[in-house]
Amino acid sequence: MMTNRFTKALPIVAMLAASALLVMRPVEPAGAQQKGGGKAPAAKGAEPAAAKAAPKAAAKGKAGEVHSLKVQGNIYMLVGPGGNTAIQVGDSGVLVVDTQYEESAAALIAEIRKITDKPIRYLVNTSVDLDRVGGNAPVGRAGVPIIGGNLGAVAFQNPATIIAHENVLARMVNAPEGQKVDNPDALPTTTFFEGQKEVFFNEEPVLIMHQPKAHSDGDSIVFFRRSDVIMAGNTFDMTSYPRIDVEKGGSIQGELKTLNLLLDLCIPKHEQEGGTYVIPGHGRLTDEHDVLEYRDMVTIIRDRIQNMIGKNMTLAQIKAAKPTYEYDPRWGKTTGGWTTDMFIEAVYKSLTVK
């Protein structure tokens, strides 16, 4: 009887397996699955070249502790060396927005495992920056996709589905030699090119909304509509002026459009506080008032630089006039990867581009 049942089921299993093989990528051995926290296994294949080339000291700075904070509803904010990650948790599994650096992925996975033992089903990348995509391979490998169901998960050990705007994928694979990401496990598997990608997961609508020409040309914000939480990624940074990467298609105009959209989406609960929460790419958890003050500042600085350009001032003259002066003690930096001068220059370039 048992043998008979098994014989009957065999062709169906074989068919499913064959179909899955056709649509799925080569995968890691089962040992690569990360279920119980601890150190994630290194992904097979090439690592992101930029990470390979990074000095050891820099890599060490990208490792480190990850802590979590319950925001509300299904959403947690995870804070680590790469800034903030958002996770949505429920019976269907885990959706991870931004995977931080590869070096901190093990800590990120361990923190997720403290919150839930449900499988990681989706990753979403809000931009192509290494602090958003660096951990894609190990975090994805710690999960399983919904596509393929249990068969796909167990028989083929496929990693979680990675969603991003198509410009993120394009920039990862078309990066200059030496910066290309050629580990297939790190690449987005589901890209979109229209205004937004919609996912219904954990009994919640999730809107992945493309923000053209904001921080870059591949930015998305992720709106968890039932939990009433927005993950803003690197379009919103509570530790510095907005990082506008003009070389990657960012602009001050697009940046302000995104900040104004965040204000439109936020509804405060009481007296301009609470209600919708916004997780920035870096820095503390915020609500509408925090976004408002940030938007006001960026708008005022944009207006000042526009005014100076109207007076035919050069970039050097504008920098010397200190259009960010009173905001500098809170938001400005004179060293590091994103200085006040670089911000002024990005705004200037955005406003003078022909």
Partner 1 sequence: MGHRKWTMAIGSVCLAALLLAAAPAYGQVDLTGAWGPQGYTEDQDERIPGPALVDFVGLPLNDFGRKWALAWDPDRLGLQEHQCQVHTAAYIHRGPLQVRIWEERDQQTQELIAIRLYTSTYEQNRTFWMDGRPHPPEYAAHTWMGFSTGKWEGNILTVTTSHIKQGWHRRNGLPSSDVISLVEHFIVHGDQLTHVSVVTDPIYLTEPLIKSEDYFKATNPGNNWLWPCEYVNELPGSDRTRVQSFMPGENPFLREFADQKKIPVDAALGGAETMYPEYIKKLKAAK
Q: Which residues bind partner 1 (CB under 8 A)?
A: 67, 69, 77, 79, 84, 256, 260, 263, 268, 270-274, 277, 283-290, 292-293, 295-296, 299-300, 303-304, 307, 321, 323, 325-330
CB nearer to partner 1: give 143 or 323.
Answer: 323
Q: Whose Cβ is closer to partner 1: residue 194's or residue 326's?
A: 326
The C-alpha atoms of residue 208 and residue 193 are separated, in whole angstroms, by 11
Burial of 326 (0-12, 13-18, 19+ CB in 10 A): exposed
The answer for 106, left when phi > 0, alpha when psi is -120 to 50, beta otherwise, is: alpha
Beta carbon of residue 329, minimum distance to partner 1 (angstroms, whole number): 5
- Rounded CA-CA distance 290/165 in Å is 27
Rg (CA), the chain: 22
Cβ atoms of residues 120 and 139 within 8 Å: yes
Nearer to partner 1, 203 or 303 (CB): 303
CA dihedral 107, 136, 251, 293 (to 10 degrees): -30
Which residues, other chains included, contact 252 with Cβ-Cβ below 8 Å and sequence gap of 6+? 244, 298, 302, 346, 347, 350, 351
In angstroms, give the least distance from the CB of 292 to partner 1.
Answer: 5
Nearest to partner 1 of 46, 300 (CB atom): 300
Burial of 349 (0-12, 13-18, 19+ CB in 10 A): middle
Element (H, E) at 289: helix 288-310
Query: Which of 152, 160, 126 has the alpha carbon at shortest distance from 34?
Result: 160
Smallest distance from partner 1 to CB 165, Å: 24
Residue nearer to partner 1 on the CB measure, 83 or 93: 83
Helical pair 288-310 and 340-352, crossing angle rounded to 10 deg: 60
Minimum gap (Å) between residue 108 Cβ and partner 1: 15
Residue nearer to partner 1 on the CB measure, 219 or 288: 288
Residue 275 Rama label (left phi>0; alpha psi -120 to 50; beta): left
Beta carbon of residue 220, minimum distance to partner 1 (angstroms, whole number): 21
Q: Minimum Å distance from CB 63 to partner 1?
A: 18
Distance in Å, CB of 209 to partner 1, minimum: 18
Q: Which is nearer to partner 1, 192 or 327 (CB)?
A: 327
Beta bridge partners of 93: 90
What residues contact 23, with CB distance under 8 A and at least 6 apart?
147
- Closest C-alpha to 252, from 262, 244, 241, 260: 244
CA distance 123 to 315: 40
Q: How far is the CB of 65 from partner 1 (least distance, A)?
A: 11
Residue number with CB closer to partner 1 (208 or 301)? 301
Q: Both tokens of residue 225?
A: 């509509």
Q: Which is nearer to partner 1, 175 or 309 (CB)?
A: 309
Shortest distance, position 236 Cβ to partner 1, whole Å: 14
Between residues 163 and 279, which has the closer beta carbon with respect to partner 1?
A: 279
